Structure 1
Amino acid sequence: MNKRLLIFFLFTALFSFKAFSNETTRILFILDASSSMSITWHDDKTRMDIAKEVLGNLIDSLEGKKNIELAFRVYGHQSQLGQRNCTDTRLEVRFSRNNAGQIKRKLADIRPRGTTPIAYTLSQAAGDFPSSDTRNIIILLTDGEETCGGNPCEVAQELEQKGVVLRHFAIGIGLTEEVMSSFECLGNHFNAQDGVRLQMILESIIRQITDETSAQVFIGNNVNRQSYTNLNFSIINHHTDEIITSLYHTLSENNIPDTLFIDPVINYNLLFHTIPAVYRSNISIEPGKNNQLTYNMPQGFLSFTISQPSISRTLEDKIRLVVYENENGNVLMNMRNKQNTRFLSDNYKTEILTLPIITRNSTNIETDKTLRVEIPSPGVLNLNKRHEYFGGIFVMKSGELEMIHELKRGNRNETLALQPGKYKIIYRTRLADTAYQTEYLNFNIKSGESLRLEL
């Protein structure tokens, strides 16, 4: 065990995304009072002396701050080391406002005595908060030596599964890189070489907790920093994948994105609900300032129109332009007549669900331009069948017959919207006893006109 080891962890449980300067922040301080905290560390001061000094300074800095509530939990202070009491932890001061004096008086009475049940203490601390609809933070001061076989990393994972999200900062004093690497599972970790540096690091962490932080999201086109707005994006907790909120991007009168107040203690993912969606992961926020986040996602428009004249709005409403993602073939959008939709600039596969289906393997949408796809209004085929038939409607394609519609044997009448062109019906009555009784009927469909055929 490194004789100069003193580790500070900061755990935060976050449950909301709002202007946190106006919401209650609850900070639970947990102090390690195990026997190892009595070891001398620096300037003839023990680890406990330094921990009390740092904790006292932190509490003083938070006294009187708006919307701050504090509480104080200790472990290892009720039983002697030889008793090996691995449940030795107690909430000494409950949450309330302006209780710094009460915490400091209790802090002065604490003496290092027992063992170090860090994992068990963290599991109990989750229940110290009156509710989860606030900004809940745990600051643990310990020499980092778990002596009860617990695993703080596993506890953190278990609490996350229960909806208590932990964010950690580990601060070591004079540690080797090898020792510090063992705390990587707990998040950010720092190595302070002296008490002054330690105080600076902790003050920086407190600023993250208390300073008002904001962000603006710029959506550009690779040329202009701000090019697009009025699109939805989701803000996601990077550590839990929980969607915190979904917002529509908005600009001020000066074409500047509006300001979002954001908690800088955790990292975020952003999911832009463009077509297709754009995902940005593990975004860190600098506390106490306005963070300007810029993401380039060039976009253009695709417009789909069925030309006039229209002879059947009901039939035309069934015609769709389907846009597919080229890489995996996923359907991105199912567009109606006269729909104008914004897409990321790219090549897409499209299908127009007419009879016959019109397929385009390369539909190129250019940045800040509109690609117009227009098809002629279909004609209408009214097909009356005197008998039940096996058959279909065919077109010639690349010199070969291709069936585009199979006749419905249970229906004596069918009404179909067909694109203008030449077609052939090949059919045979169900009662026929030879293939030679197959019949053929050629017909022509004109845009905006109706044709009646009898079989």
Structure 2
Amino acid sequence: MKNKIIISFLILFFAMLEAKAQRVEQSIPEKTRILFLFDASGSMLAQWGNELRIDAAKRVLTNLVDSLRVNDKIELALRPYGHLTPAKERNCQDTKLEIPFAPNNNDRIIDRLKYIYPRGTTPIAYSLEQSAKDFPQDNNYRNIIIIITDGIESCDGDPCAVSLELQKKDIFLRPFVIGLGMEEKFASEFDCMGEYFNAKNIYAFQSVLNGILSQSLSKTTASVELLDQNGRKVEKDVNVSFINTFTGISEFDFIHFRDRNGRPDSVEVDPVLSYDVVVNTVPPVVKRNVYLKGGTHNVIEIKTPQGALKINQDNTTEYDKDVQVLVRKSSKPEIINTQSIRSEEKYLIGNYDLEILTLPRIYINNVNLLQGKTRNINIPAPGRVNISYSSSGIGSLYSIDENGRQTWIKKLDLRGGQSSFGIQPGKYKYVYRSDRAMGSKYTQIKEFNVRSGQTINIKIY
């Protein structure tokens, strides 16, 4: 009985350890804060359909705020701009947080909207900058801004630069910008700030607002399908990064997984952002500007056909440290990976140039890697050279090719009375001059051959 209790305890203990080890490290906060940055500048008095723009915007926003009172996962705030001073004063700091974030403040926002009247100018950049102070610091919330405007910046500010800086600081996610009846040519003024929508009429405005909320608040998942060159869903175990397209900052990092049936798992991601999905193969594959549909499961397919490369060599202990292999795409100068000898690593299929850092270096070009295959490169085992000398001096080592032409390999350190190193099979020449020699004519030359596994002893007097 006692043994059964101990076994049960151990099973429970290890189950708890496993559960802790499998804790989800990257998750989206359940709660969301939404700040309405509301244009109340003088231009909002323009006619829009059968009513003024300001009246239409207030009515639609009021209905939206009212509908959100049933959602206890949302907090709202209202910051208008252009409503405090007349346009003739050109007050470029005309903005105020009228209703701060708080639970159940829907009625306060609705009541305050009734008394906001268009008067002044359009300081979008300054208002956006001030909005950074509106979000209380709390990692349990996502911060979203919805900008509602009928005009572009009129105070020489740079809304795009401000938006980018605040997003990089993680103050808020990429803003939604709704243009009310604006000309198409102004789209570029807002695309750089966030995701821009042009509501050409009141019905479009209402539809855009509802769409933004659906995109922002619905649970969204994604799976990444890594395909081979034939479109088969077989690749796995690769690091995948979701990079914020706008800021260039990584938002989510996962190591791709397939279950026993070959299906990729799903991860929860934030649909407010757009992503460059980076599959960190060697070299990496990037799928740019990926937009996710909120409230549903998204499948992102990316071709990452891979083969493997293995460099084999016996007797590697003759080298003082692990031999590394510099890998480049064929005919390209950039090193894309450094691989240890006698290891196997995956690469995208294609041709590669190898620089193996033996002594002397070995160059193998146009190594072709095929889908799902391992390419084995076999290089000869090294030998060893031991050089002893009676006095310090200056020495260099050369390799001699089959045509008798020499290539300088390295300068040798001759301070310790001897030098010992691993070296590839081949013909070599050692050139040495003692510090005690009274001229160049006393330079000594030794030629020797090295075979795999052989030790050569050279004495210099």
Given the alignment, which residue of 331, 336, 339 partners 1:335?
A: 339
Asked if the contact 2:173/2:273 (under 8 Å) is kept, the reply is no
Given the alignment, which residue of 138, 143, 156 partners 2:145?
A: 138
Given the alignment, which residue of 62, 71, 95 partners 2:77?
A: 71
Q: Where do 1:319-358 residues align within 5 Å?
A: 319-358=323-362
Alpha-carbon shift at residue 364 of structure 1 (Å): 1.8
Alpha-carbon shift at residue 136 of structure 1 (Å): 0.9
RMSD: 2.9
Q: Where do 1:247-396 residues align within 5 Å?
A: 247-307=254-314, 310=315, 313=317, 315=319, 317-396=321-400
Distance in 2 of aligned mates of 1:105 and 1:159: 30
Given the alignment, which residue of 211, 214, 226 partners 1:219?
A: 226
Alpha-carbon shift at residue 72 of structure 1 (Å): 1.7
Given the alignment, which residue of 381, 404, 410 partners 2:409?
A: 404
Task: Show the counterpart of 2:59.
Answer: 53
Length-normalised TM-score, structure 1: 0.85
Alpha-carbon shift at residue 300 of structure 1 (Å): 0.9
Asked if the contact 1:225/1:294 (under 8 Å) is kept, the reply is no
- AA aligned to 1:47 is R
Asked if the contact 1:219/1:229 (under 8 Å) is kept, the reply is yes
Which segments of 5 or more consecutive residues in structure 1 lack a partner in the other structure? 1-16
Q: Number of residues paired by the alignment?
A: 434
Once the two structures are overlaid, the 10-residue window that deviates more, 145-154 or 33-42, is 145-154
Distance in 2 of aligned mates of 1:88 and 1:53: 23
- Say whether residues 1:29 and 2:36 are aligned partners: yes
- AA aligned to 1:46 is L
- Say whether residues 1:452 and 2:460 are aligned partners: no
Distance in 1 of aligned mates of 2:164 and 2:412: 59
- AA aligned to 2:414 is R
| Gap change, CA 1:36 and 1:376, over 3 Å in 2 | closer
Alpha-carbon shift at residue 352 of structure 1 (Å): 2.0
Given the alignment, which residue of 441, 445, 450 partners 2:446?
A: 441
Moved over 6 A (4+): none
Distance in 2 of aligned mates of 1:27 and 1:41: 26
Task: Show the counterpart of 1:104.
Answer: 110
Distance in 2 of aligned mates of 1:412 and 1:97: 80
| Gap change, CA 1:408 and 1:158, over 3 Å in 2 | closer
- AA aligned to 2:32 is T
Alpha-carbon shift at residue 155 of structure 1 (Å): 3.8
Distance in 1 of aligned mates of 2:397 and 2:161: 65
Which segments of 5 or more consecutive residues in structure 2 lack a partner in the other structure? 1-24
Task: Show the counterpart of 1:13.
Answer: none
| Gap change, CA 1:29 and 1:403, over 3 Å in 2 | closer
Percent of aligned pairs sharing the same letter: 36
| Gap change, CA 1:31 and 1:172, over 3 Å in 2 | closer
Distance in 2 of aligned mates of 1:186 and 1:273: 29
| Gap change, CA 1:422 and 1:201, over 3 Å in 2 | same
Alpha-carbon shift at residue 199 of structure 1 (Å): 1.7
Which secondary structure does the structure 2 equivalent of 1:91 belong to? Answer: coil
Q: Which protein, 1 or 2, shows the higher relative CO under an 8 Å CA cutoff with sep ≥ 6? A: 1
Alpha-carbon shift at residue 36 of structure 1 (Å): 3.8
Distance in 1 of aligned mates of 2:238 and 2:168: 32
Distance in 2 of aligned mates of 1:335 and 1:157: 38
Q: Where do 1:142-157 residues align within 5 Å?
A: 142-144=149-151, 148=155, 150-157=157-164
Which secondary structure does the structure 2 equivalent of 1:453 belong to? Answer: strand
Q: Where do 1:59-208 residues align within 5 Å?
A: 59-80=65-86, 84-131=90-137, 133=139, 134-144=141-151, 148=155, 150-157=157-164, 159-160=166-167, 163-164=170-171, 167-172=174-179, 174-178=181-185, 180=187, 183-208=190-215
Distance in 2 of aligned mates of 1:145 and 1:422: 75
- Say whether residues 1:236 and 2:243 are aligned partners: yes
Asked if the contact 1:317/1:336 (under 8 Å) is kept, the reply is no
Once the two structures are overlaid, the 10-residue window that deviates more, 375-384 or 29-38, is 29-38
